[in-house]
């Protein structure tokens, strides 16, 4: 059955949106994996599926390119918000996700800002395999962990260029300490309002950027006392702004851009 889609990116972090409102199109793990194949499918870091919702503009579910489900995706949430705000000719919208109700706004510059909810620091919330101090995990390099609806493990390094992300990332992602695996961040602090971030993404490899990872990295840096409450997060593909006051919600702001629309033949 032909499946209509839109492909977008946020600073090179590419994602596909399928609008399943008023339809019965089932997205399965197998279909998500086929669509995510960069050689035989469309190719993406994440897939966002828009569903009908009674108490929000829409409900959104997310898939990784390997067919695994996830509860949140900052980049794709911004893309869905951009699309639905244009459709309704409004500058703010609320989306229901497994992370909760996320309020999204278009800024005066055209960027999309999302209230990503409050970070979680309890070992069972991330989750970790056993009780421990999540501000300083018992791993070489002394990383910090949190959850933004998905698990994040942040290393602070002196020289980001010296880190072999492809070699180190997979071993940390699948470490027994993380029963659901984890996103892995490597952060170089430029100053208290600016970090350089590279990522090994759970179920995805090395992306040009990731909204939720930007949030997790900034939150962990603020928690460590290394950063102020408003941070420019510079990834390989570009920069976003993350704000967190140390107590409440995390706000993620950055650009999104539509690439193309098409039809996927689900044979």
Domain boundaries, the chain: 2-116, 144-254
CA–CA distance, 232 with 242 (Å, rounded to integer): 7
Report pLDDT digits (tens) over 27-82: 899 999 999 999 999 999 999 999 999 999 999 999 999 999 989 899 999 999 99
Structure tokens at 264: 């996927």
> What's the pTM value of the predicted model, to 2 decimals?
0.93
Are 196 and 231 in contact, with CB atoms under 8 Å apart?
Answer: no
The three-class DSSP label of residue 165 is helix
C-alpha distances out from residue 154 to 27, 66, 114, 262, 267, Å: 32, 23, 22, 37, 40
* Same topology between domain 2-116 and domain 144-254: yes
In this prediction, residues 86-114 reach a mean pLDDT of 96
Name the CATH topology of 2-116: Diaminopimelate Epimerase; Chain A, domain 1 (3.10.310)
Are 265 and 15 in contact, with CB atoms under 8 Å apart?
Answer: no
Percent of the chain at pLDDT above 90? 93
Name the CATH topology of 144-254: Diaminopimelate Epimerase; Chain A, domain 1 (3.10.310)
Are 226 and 241 in contact, with CB atoms under 8 Å apart?
Answer: no
267 — pLDDT class (breaks 50, 70, 90): low
Are 125 and 216 in contact, with CB atoms under 8 Å apart?
Answer: no
Are 105 and 112 in contact, with CB atoms under 8 Å apart?
Answer: yes
Choose among 157, 243, 148, 240: nearest CA to 201. Answer: 148
In this prediction, residues 103-132 reach a mean pLDDT of 97
């Amino acid at each position: 059955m032909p499946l209509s889609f839109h492909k977008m990116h946020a600073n090179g972090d590419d994602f596909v949106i399928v609008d399943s409102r008023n339809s019965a199109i089932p997205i399965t793990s197998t279909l998500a994996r086929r669509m995510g194949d960069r050689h035989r499918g469309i190719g993406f870091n994440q897939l966002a599926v828009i569903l009908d919702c009674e108490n929000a503009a829409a409900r959104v579910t997310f898939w990784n390119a390997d067919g695994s489900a996830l509860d949140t995706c900052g980049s794709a949430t911004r893309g869905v918000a951009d699309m639905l705000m244009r459709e309704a000719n409004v500058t703010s919208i609320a989306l229901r996700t497994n992370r909760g109700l996320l309020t999204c706004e278009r800024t005066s510059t055209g960027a999309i800002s999302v209230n990503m909810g409050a970070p979680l620091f309890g070992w069972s919330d991330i989750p970790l395999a056993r009780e421990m101090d999540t501000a300083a995990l018992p791993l070489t390099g002394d990383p910090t962990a949190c959850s933004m609806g998905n698990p994040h493990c942040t290393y602070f390094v002196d020289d980001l260029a010296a880190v072999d992300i492809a070699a180190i990332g997979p071993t940390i992602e699948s470490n027994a300490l993380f029963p659901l695996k984890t996103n892995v961040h490597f952060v170089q602090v430029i100053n208290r309002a600016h970090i350089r971030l590279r990522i090994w993404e759970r179920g995805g490899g090395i992306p040009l950027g990731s909204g939720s990872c930007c949030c997790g990295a900034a939150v962990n840096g603020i928690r460590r006392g290394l950063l102020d409450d408003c941070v420019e997060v510079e990834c390989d593909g570009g920069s976003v702004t993350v704000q967190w006051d140390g107590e409440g919600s995390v706000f993620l702001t950055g650009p999104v851009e539509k690439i193309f629309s098409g039809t996927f033949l689900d044979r």
